[in-house]
Structure 1
Amino acid sequence: MHTEGHDGSDLFADDVERGACVLLLAPSIHEATDEACHDLLSLEAPDDENVLWVTYTRSPDACMQDWLDRAGDRPRNVRLVSVGETTRSAAATVGGDVGPRSGDVVETLSSPGDLTGLGIKLSEILKAWKDSDARTVACFDSLTALLQYADLQTAYKFLHVLTGRFDAADVTAHFHLDPDACDQQTVSTLTSLFDTVVEFEDGEWTVRSR
């Protein structure tokens, strides 16, 4: 297993292999977590990326505004899947000050425990982008929230299938999990699904790859 330690931003361009599925072990609310999320979604220039964002806790507008604040330029295409409570603020496209465009689409899933429905939506998005010459990157925010609606065994089975689909589609994807919000057995079980684990501890990032 390969391990790297870091204490700054722009960490992951050399440490995370393109097409890897990454478990991001970090506090749910922390500036370092936000920076790492953006870095993992910005492994290429924005115009060379299709961005897939699954959000349980933030509105689609907030996600896009954060992207624009950090990156400046839009990705080539954006699909946001808004799950559960966040669907109340979701519309057909990302609106408000972020400025919608045709490639920006919000899809909603009102039941956060409907993993079958979520899997179908994500598969449809990957299929739509199959012939794109842009690389696809994905953020799943978050497994911490998902585990409030599904037991560990159900979540594991869902993630086993989803990471397989991402791998087949050469998607570089990261999944947020707050290790302080679940037990060590849960962390260990889910870690086994991922190519790379990026962990924030004592002010430093550690990258572990198989």
Structure 2
Amino acid sequence: MLEDAPLSIDSGGGGNSLLIAGPPMTGKYDLMLRLLADAGERGVLITTGDTAETVAADYAEVAGVDPASVGVVDCVSKQRGGDLVDREFVRYASSPKNVTDIGMKFTDLYEVFREFDTSVGVGVHSLSELLMYLDPQDVYQFVRVLTRQVESEGWTTVAVIGSTMHDEQTLHTMYEPFDTVINTREEDGARELRVRDRQQAATAWTTF
């Protein structure tokens, strides 16, 4: 999927956790979907801005799967109103303000997808939405628990954050739970990324 980018994920299950950080309109969401599709045979997404139907369809198009097979924790639809009942692979959290509820709904899906005995990519779009309502330390704790839970199954986590929406201290707090940070930017009309992990310096900027 990412032939032009210096990035690969072992879909056999390495328990990787990645954070995509960049300004608006630099392809963060699309990149997350592509990485998730590479990371596992199934996908579970926590969405703080779009409905379950939207993100399931977006992931399914990239991964080439049935949208009905995609797991989603929808954090927006209940907040917008409507009588919503959890479905087979969809759980509705009360709002992006309630990470305890989001965590419980995710754990519910986590137990469901463990039964399939397949590799799973877990996406979070996005941490910036959570940070609009919550203290960075609360979001940090949520992410730390989430990534450890996902890693315990050998699955991969890919989260997104808007780098221009937060101060440097908040960004570095959010970076800490992740093995790898992928920065995105737009340069001369082309989307580029670079990869940084704990063991090595950042790669060169590469078109994706």
TM > 0.5: yes
Return the alpha-carbon distance in structure 1 between the equivalents of residues 68 and 6 of structure 2. 19
Deviates more, 1:177-186 or 1:13-22: 13-22
Which of these residues, 167, 175, 188, is aligned with residue 172 of structure 2?
A: 188
What number of residue pairs does the alignment pair up? 190
Counterpart of 2:118 in structure 1 is 134
CA RMSD of aligned residues (A): 2.8
Q: 1:165-184 counterparts in 2 under 5 A?
A: 165-184=149-168
Return the alpha-carbon distance in structure 1 between the equivalents of residues 3 and 78 of structure 2. 29
Q: Which has the higher contact order (CA 8 A, sep 6+)?
A: 1
Return the alpha-carbon distance in structure 2 between the equivalents of residues 68 and 154 of structure 1. 31
Structure 1 unaligned residues grouped into runs of 5+: 1-7, 94-101
Counterpart of 1:41 in structure 2 is 36
Q: 1:143-154 counterparts in 2 under 5 A?
A: 143-154=127-138
Counterpart of 2:201 in structure 1 is none
Return the alpha-carbon distance in structure 2 between the equivalents of residues 24 and 89 of structure 1. 30
1:182: how far off? 0.7
Return the alpha-carbon distance in structure 1 between the equivalents of residues 90 and 115 of structure 2. 21
Return the alpha-carbon distance in structure 2 between the equivalents of residues 161 and 133 of structure 1. 21
Query: SS state of the match for residue 133, structure 1?
Result: coil
Report the identity percentage: 25
8 Å CA contact 2:43, 2:71 repeated in 1: yes
Counterpart of 2:9 in structure 1 is 16
1:130: how far off? 2.0
**Equivalent AA in structure 1 for residue 8 of structure 2:** D
Return the alpha-carbon distance in structure 2 between the equivalents of residues 14 and 174 of structure 1. 13
Deviates more, 1:161-170 or 1:66-75: 66-75
Deviates more, 1:33-42 or 1:8-17: 8-17
Query: SS state of the match for residue 95, structure 2?
Result: coil
In the superposition, the TM-score normalised over structure 2's length comes to 0.78
Query: SS state of the match for residue 144, structure 1?
Result: helix
